[in-house]
């Protein structure tokens, strides 16, 4: 079978296509014919050698995948041949509280950028019936992160999302399904229409309005959003705290903006804010998301789909193309 391996982190040159024997499932395992994989920010950091927990040399990259069960090992009852499945980011976090995980796709063990992969049946989840393979593969990281960031949001809340990355667009769509009102920020006027089409009530250009918390507060009758899905981390947190409603929550899902802005303790304290760092979610959380996706026929925003043999072009586009929504590889 064809596969990709990250031989040497640092640049895309370290990612090479090759061949490997098609594996066979043992007891409790299944053989997945991989149908689609999806790129996430962590994959970028791993390939470019910027991740604090670097990849082992020679592992296949990518943690987001969908596929079809082609064979099942002894004793597997969870899936049958032909079932459509998706990966779960944490292969052994099934439910309950999170704990640090020893084996992560694309760094400690092989990820999914290959034609076939054998994996424990328990590490997979049924794909939603309402999604194509390309769509379903966007759920394990971006979809579930957004879902977890919205925990507790309800139909009288206002949610703020930042930019047009995968998590932010999922958060926009899922917040609408939860009945919330959504505001969005963007740095590109060109994206405003798309964000409104997806259900944003209002969109703020944060370049034209560097003091966007003031604008956002005006849009919410002085109150501020009840939930902010913060993707910037060090670079956006201070403004998110200044924008959030009294008693509201900033859900921190990423750290795209590394230049740290000074942190305003008093603003956080006097508005009784909560900061909550999101760790994607468990298999039970992913199963809950799949039910929601099917119940609402949710379709994610896909920027572009690349064929398997052009996987490196997919990475280049993800790194440099300022995609709106997810970048997918069709296997």
Residue 265: Cβ within 10 Å count: 9
Q: Which helix (H) or strand (E) holds 193?
A: helix 192-197
Based on CB atoms, which residue is closest to its own copies, 258 or 320? 258
Buried b (16+ CB within 10 A) or exposed e, 283-319: bebbeebbeebeeeebebbbbebbebeebbbbbebbe
Binding mask 31-70 for its own copies (x = CB under 8 A): ---------------------x------------------
Q: At its nearest, how many Å lie between its own copies and the CB of residue 330?
A: 28
Q: Is 233 near its own copies (CB under 8 A)? A: yes
Q: Is 94 near its own copies (CB under 8 A)? A: yes
Site for its own copies in 300-319 (CB under 8 A): none
Q: Which helix (H) or strand (E) holds 134?
A: helix 133-136
Beta bridge partners of residue 223, listed in sequence order? none
User: Judged by CB under 8 A, which of 12, 20, 71, 120 binds its own copies?
Assistant: 120
User: Judged by CB under 8 A, which of 27, 81, 190, 207 binds its own copies?
Assistant: 27
Eight-state DSSP code of residue 71: E
Q: Is 234 near its own copies (CB under 8 A)? A: yes
Q: Is 124 near its own copies (CB under 8 A)? A: no
Q: At its nearest, how many Å lie between its own copies and the CB of residue 237?
A: 7
Q: Is 29 near its own copies (CB under 8 A)? A: yes
Based on CB atoms, which residue is closest to its own copies, 195 or 255? 255
Q: Is 181 near its own copies (CB under 8 A)? A: yes
User: Judged by CB under 8 A, which of 7, 22, 218, 263 binds its own copies?
Assistant: 263
Q: 95, 145, 102: which is closest to 122 by C-alpha? A: 95
How many residues make contact with its own copies (CB under 8 A)?
Answer: 63
Eight-state DSSP code of residue 127: P
Separation between Cα atoms, residue 68 and residue 82, nearest integer Å: 6
Q: Is 82 near its own copies (CB under 8 A)? A: no
Q: Is 21 near its own copies (CB under 8 A)? A: no
Separation between Cα atoms, residue 70 and residue 47, nearest integer Å: 29
Q: Is 131 near its own copies (CB under 8 A)? A: no
Q: Is 257 near its own copies (CB under 8 A)? A: no
Greatest distance between any 2 Cα atoms in the chain: 61
Quick one: which segment of 9-17, 132-140, 212-220, 255-263 binds its own copies (CB under 8 A)?
255-263
Contact 8, 57 (CB under 8 A): yes
Q: 179, 169, 163: which is closest to 145 by C-alpha? A: 169
Q: At its nearest, how many Å lie between its own copies and the CB of residue 3?
A: 20
Tokens standing for 242?
């200044």
Q: At its nearest, how many Å lie between its own copies and the CB of residue 168?
A: 17
Quick one: which segment of 33-41, 55-63, 175-183, 204-212 binds its own copies (CB under 8 A)?
175-183
Task: List the beta strands (DSSP E) in the chain.
Answer: 2-6, 15-19, 29-38, 64-72, 84-87, 116-120, 124-126, 158-162, 181-186, 202-205, 227-230, 249-252, 274-277, 302-307, 326-330
Beta bridge partners of residue 120, listed in sequence order? 29
**Residues near its own copies, by CB under 8 A:** 26-29, 52, 73-75, 77-78, 92, 94-100, 102-103, 120, 122, 154-156, 177-179, 181, 233-234, 237, 246-247, 252, 255, 260, 263, 265-266, 268-279, 282-285, 287-288, 291-292, 294-296
């Amino acid at each position: 079978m064809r596969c990709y391996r990250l031989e040497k982190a640092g640049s895309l040159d370290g990612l090479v296509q090759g061949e490997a024997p098609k594996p066979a499932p043992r007891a409790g395992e299944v053989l997945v014919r991989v149908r689609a994989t999806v790129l996430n920010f962590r994959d970028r950091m791993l390939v470019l050698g910027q991740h604090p927990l670097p990849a082992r040399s020679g592992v296949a990259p990518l943690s987001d995948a969908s596929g079809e069960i082609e064979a099942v090992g002894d004793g597997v009852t969870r899936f049958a041949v032909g079932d459509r499945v998706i990966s779960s980011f944490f292969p052994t976090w099934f439910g309950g509280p999170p704990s640090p995980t020893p084996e992560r796709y694309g760094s400690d063990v092989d990820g999914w950028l290959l034609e076939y992969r054998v994996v424990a049946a328990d590490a997979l989840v049924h794909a939603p019936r309402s999604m194509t393979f390309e769509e379903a593969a966007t759920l394990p990281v971006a979809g579930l992160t957004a879902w977890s960031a919205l925990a507790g949001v309800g139909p009288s809340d206002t949610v703020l999302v930042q930019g047009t990355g995968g998590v932010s667009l999922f958060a926009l769509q899922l917040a609408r399904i939860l009945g919330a009102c959504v505001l969005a920020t963007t740095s590109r006027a060109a994206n405003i229409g798309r964000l409104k089409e997806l259900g944003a009530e209002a969109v703020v250009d944060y370049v034209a309005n560097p003091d966007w918390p003031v604008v956002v507060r005006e849009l919410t009758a002085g109150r501020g959003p009840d939930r902010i899905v913060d993707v910037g981390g060090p670079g956006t947190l201070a403004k998110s705290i200044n924008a959030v409603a009294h008693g509201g929550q900033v859900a921190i899902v990423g750290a795209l903006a590394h230049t740290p802005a000074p942190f305003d303790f008093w603003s956080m304290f006097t508005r009784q804010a909560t900061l909550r760092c999101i760790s994607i979610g468990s298999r039970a959380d992913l199963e809950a998301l799949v039910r929601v996706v099917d119940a609402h026929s949710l379709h994610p925003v896909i920027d572009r789909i690349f064929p398997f043999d052009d996987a490196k072009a997919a990475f280049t586009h993800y790194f440099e193309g300022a995609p709106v929504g997810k970048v997918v590889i069709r296997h």
